[in-house]
Amino acid sequence: MNKDFKEILITEEQIKNQVKQIGEMIDAKYGNEEVVIVGLLKGSYVFTADVARAIKNPNVFVEFIVASSYKNGDSTGEVRIVLDTKRPVYGKHVIIVEDIIDTGRTLAKVKQMFVNRGAKTVEIATMCTKPARRVVHVTIDYPTFEIPDEIVVGYGLDYNEHYRHLPYVAAITEEFFKKGLIK
Ligand code: PRP
């Protein structure tokens, strides 16, 4: 194993199975109805691409947004949309796709935003979740991996922008955590 990692928490194989299952669930639920998959950059770029390719529905559209949140200790949980969808979501089925839910603040705000914009339905698919860190309740509508409160990288997740490109999810070592603070 790479010396920067102490453990692989989610394997490539596990993610493949999850993606397949989610694609099948979306097809079973929506058939050929119009569905807008909204990935939250940067973290969700890999999962969004994989989930979209697991869906057979010809009426699926892919959008991305960037939500910026303040994450320091005295965080107010403010979430700002710095890149928005290209097309309106009014009257459409929206599925927000995330790499991870931590406190839940980002997803709660983003979900509410799409509800306010008149989306027909708004669901959430997240590759993984850290239940121990949750501050705001968020309903997860598709299969997810529950992970411990570790700093994780891979499959879109980064530590100071490192290791987003891994095909699996790993917990980083204490040494890498200290080293990685230098950008
Ligand atoms: C991560 C992740 C979620 C958010 C979850 O993004 O992709 O969007 O944090 O945290 P929360 O549940 O506490 O709101 P990050 O801000 O690290 O940006 P990135 O996607 O560009 O890596």
The mean pLDDT of the chain is: 94
Using most ligand atoms within 8 A of CB, pick from 64, 96, 97, 101 the residue to mutate for ligand 1: 101
Q: How far is the CA of 172 from the centre of ligand 1 (A)?
A: 17
User: Three-state secondary structure along 161-177?
Assistant: CECCCCCCEEEECHHHH
Q: How far is the CA of 31 from the centre of ligand 1 (A)?
A: 30
Outline where DSSP puts E strands in 75-176: 79-83, 93-101, 121-129, 145-146, 152-153, 169-172
Q: What is the pLDDT of residues 143-177, one digit of tens each?
A: 999 999 999 999 999 999 999 999 999 999 999 99
- Asked if 102 is an active-site residue, the reply is yes
Q: What is the pLDDT of residues 117-151, one digit of tens each?
A: 999 999 999 999 999 999 999 999 999 999 999 99
- The finding on whether 40 has its CB within 6 A of some atom of ligand 1 is yes
> Which one-letter amino acid corresponds to residue 63?
E
Ligand 1: which residue has its CA nearest to atom 14?
Answer: 106
